[in-house]
Amino acid sequence: MNSKYKTVKYKKNTPSNVEDLVSIEEPLEMVVRHKKNNAWIDNSISITMRTPKNDEDLIIGLLFCEGIIHKISDIEKVELLGEKVGKFDLQNKIRVTLGNSENLDIKHLKRNFLTNSSCGICGKTSMDSLEIVCKTKINKNVPKIKNSLITKIPDLLRKSQSEFSKTGGIHASALFNKDGKALVIKEDVGRHNALDKVIGHCFKNSIFDTKNQFIACSGRLSFELVQKALMANVGFLMGVGAPTSLAIDLARRFDITLIGFVKSDSFNIYCGENRILK
């Protein structure tokens, strides 16, 4: 979603009044509804700034990546709540109702969201925790991706984005198959939100076939993005930006191929070179 804003544009030292398309950023309050002592309880777990589209995919992907849900049947209902507000007439609250949730540790869940969204995380502690949480192991040998395809991904990603060409101010994440076909692409002002939307959509619609798929992102590759790929059992992650040290450490520990600085004629392999075909 985008909106027009009046702007003064300078070009060759000459100002002109123009209308600029700008990506919309709005808060989304995320609420988990669960049972405790046979009574339904609503807990607000997080407020994130997002692009108002695919909100259901966003919250499903987030809960899946945090290990709160393991199958789509864990969710009874997803609904937008509240009056439409603000200049864009939006509902900015979404609630997920979880079935069979008597043992949900909501305090632990809130701590996870708070830590991940604000002050960062202790690398070793988080990796140790992921070792316990992840039920499946990444296959070290697949997918196999041609190096000639990797250099085409930034252009394929850009061409698949509907909003970036209009605003230039939005991130994208996409699930590709090994032949370079974009299966799912989502955009958001937050790069983590964009990937959560991809994972939520794939999880909800049973699209994952991770032996033959990989994820591409438009920005920097952080620890959280590698963590989300790991939780989705995707062993191949690439981005046009730089990876962080902790992202590389996590990818190496869990045998994920991590590629950064992807351009039309070059890319850097930080780990998992065995999955790349010459």
Domain locations along the chain? 26-121, 145-277
Most confident of 34-38, 169-173, 265-269: 265-269
Q: What percent of the chain has pLDDT over 90?
A: 58
Domain 26-121 has CATH 3.40.50.410: no
Whole-number pLDDT of residue 115: 44
Identify whether the C-beta of residue 235 lies closer than 8 Å to the C-beta of residue 251. Answer: no
Kindly report, residue by residue over 119-138, the tens digit of the pLDDT: 344 455 556 667 766 767 89
Query: What are the backbone angles phi and psi of residue 103, rounded to the nearest 5°?
Result: -100, 15
- How far is Cα 20 from Cα 221, in angstroms, rounded to an integer? 29
Give the whole-angstrom CA distance, residue 162 versus residue 144. Answer: 28
pLDDT of residue 119: 38
User: Cβ(135)–Cβ(220) under 8 Å?
Assistant: no
For residue 1, give the DSSP letter. Answer: -
Q: What is the mean pLDDT of residues 193-202?
A: 97
Query: Which H or E run contains 157?
Result: helix 153-160
| Res. 240: pLDDT tops 50 | yes
Instruction: Identify which of 229, 238, 231, 271 has the alpha carbon closest to the alpha carbon of residue 253.
Output: 271
Active-site annotation holds for 119: yes
For position 26, what pLDDT does the model report?
92
Catalytic residue among 119, 134, 202, 271: 119
Mean pLDDT of 158-175: 77
Over 60: is that where the pLDDT of 21 sits? yes
Give every CB contact of residue 73 below 8 A, 6+ residues apart in sequence. 99
pLDDT in tens, 43-79: 888 888 999 999 999 999 999 988 888 899 999 999 9
- Dist CA 46 CA 126 (whole Å): 20
pLDDT at 246 over 60: yes
Q: Is CATH 3.40.140.10 the right assignment for the domain spanning 145-277?
A: yes
Please state the separation of Cα 38 from the chain's center in Å. 34
For the residues 161-178, what does the mean pLDDT come to? 79
Distance CA 109, CA 112 (A): 5
